[in-house]
Structure 1
Amino acid sequence: MFMVIKIKKILVPYDATPSSEKAVKKVLPLIEKHDSKILFLSCVHDKATFGFFKTKSDKREIAKEKKKAERHHERLKKEAAKFGIPSSSKIIKSDLESKSIIEYAKDQNADLIVMSKSKIGTHAEKMYYNSTVDAVFKKTPCPFLYIP
């Protein structure tokens, strides 16, 4: 006996790295002929400050990152449209991206999260690098597809 899982909403976190580009490029052709919607999520890193308030330069930097993410999302939506895939996107401020991705997946009732991660070079990086992909995988609220 087998079970068929209907995948309606696919979350692809996007941070403009080659690994997130790879995840987008691989997932679009896979879902082209299915009745699925793709959700793009970008987290603008909300850096911790030593004081109790953000400076003007902190606010400008966040606004600059958000504007850049908006341009990326417009391109991603056009790319999805080429495959006939409906899409939506969200840009959020976050101090811990993995937590934000998990919360968004729960809020949107995502059926699948698709991610890829950057190559880590040295042994020391492998020991100390806490990957967002690994953190999401460990606490994912739905199936997870890793694109190597």
Structure 2
Amino acid sequence: MKKVLIAIDYHPVSEKVVEAGYNLAKKLNAEVCLIHVLADVAYYGMQYQPFMGYDGYNETAIDLNIAAEMHQVAEDYLNQAAEHLNDDKVGKKLAEGDTAKAILEYSKDWHADLIVMGTHSHSFLEKLLVGTVAAQVLEKTKVPVYMVPVKK
């Protein structure tokens, strides 16, 4: 395994996913790339405690209706997540659109040997109607997926 793609979302549990994926990649002596998909701007308005050195943003300073600003917020988050690893060789990819599709497309384009993702706890109804990103990736990937459990 030469390339490990670590998918992160805007949620504090991503820190656990990043660290688990990065540690595995280092054991495999593999190249690492973090991917974050800008899919739903509502997530960026959530106020969490700081994680991976990212404090979020001041909601009065950003107009959520302006896509360019949300793109910058997402880039800042991805950059901070990469800096958290203290390794300037870590790649970063900010994609937009459907999360599962974007992860699958980039894993193919980047020739990833492994995808690392977290498993979130979703309601039964949400899983039934929408499915989870992890389930969608698992269903369609041609690359092994390393799932990091992140339930509290």
Normalization by structure 2: what TM-score? 0.72
Asked if structure 1 preserves the Cα contact closer than 8 Å seen for 2:7 and 2:34, the reply is yes
- Relative to 1, partners in 2 of residues 1:46 and 1:31: Cα closer, same or farther, differing over 3 Å? closer
Cα distance, 1:41 vs. partner? 1.2
For residues 41 and 70 of structure 1, the distance between their equivalents in structure 2, rounded to whole angstroms, comes to 11
Aligned residue number for residue 100 of structure 2:
98
For residues 100 and 9 of structure 1, the distance between their equivalents in structure 2, rounded to whole angstroms, comes to 17
Aligned residue number for residue 15 of structure 2:
21
Q: What 5-or-longer segments of structure 1 have no aligned partner?
A: 1-6, 48-56
In structure 2, give the amino acid aligned to 1:35.
N
For residues 103 and 46 of structure 1, the distance between their equivalents in structure 2, rounded to whole angstroms, comes to 18
Between the two proteins, the alignment pairs up a number of residues equal to: 128
Asked if structure 1 preserves the Cα contact closer than 8 Å seen for 2:8 and 2:35, the reply is yes
Q: 2:111 pairs with 109, 122, 126, which one?
A: 109
Cα distance, 1:97 vs. partner? 1.3
Q: What 5-or-longer segments of structure 2 have no aligned partner?
A: 42-62
Aligned residue number for residue 122 of structure 2:
120
For residues 42 and 143 of structure 1, the distance between their equivalents in structure 2, rounded to whole angstroms, comes to 19
**Structure 1 runs, 4 residues or longer, greater than 4 Å off:** none
Aligned residue number for residue 30 of structure 2:
36
In the alignment, does 2:75 pair up with 1:70?
yes
- Relative to 1, partners in 2 of residues 1:46 and 1:126: Cα closer, same or farther, differing over 3 Å? closer
Normalization by structure 1: what TM-score? 0.74
For residues 124 and 16 of structure 1, the distance between their equivalents in structure 2, rounded to whole angstroms, comes to 22
Asked if structure 2 preserves the Cα contact closer than 8 Å seen for 1:13 and 1:114, the reply is yes
The two structures, once aligned, show a CA RMSD in angstroms of 2.4
Cα distance, 1:92 vs. partner? 2.0
Cα distance, 1:117 vs. partner? 2.3
Task: Kindly name which structure, 1 or 2, has the bigger radius of gyration based on alpha carbons.
Answer: 1
Q: Any residues of structure 2 matched to 1:2-13 within 5 Å, and which?
A: 7-13=1-7
In structure 1, give the amino acid aligned to 2:72.
K
**What per-residue deviation string (whole Å, max 9, x for no partner) do you get for residues 100-145 of structure 1?**
1101000000010000122124x33342241111000111121110
| Counterpart secondary structure, 1:116 | strand
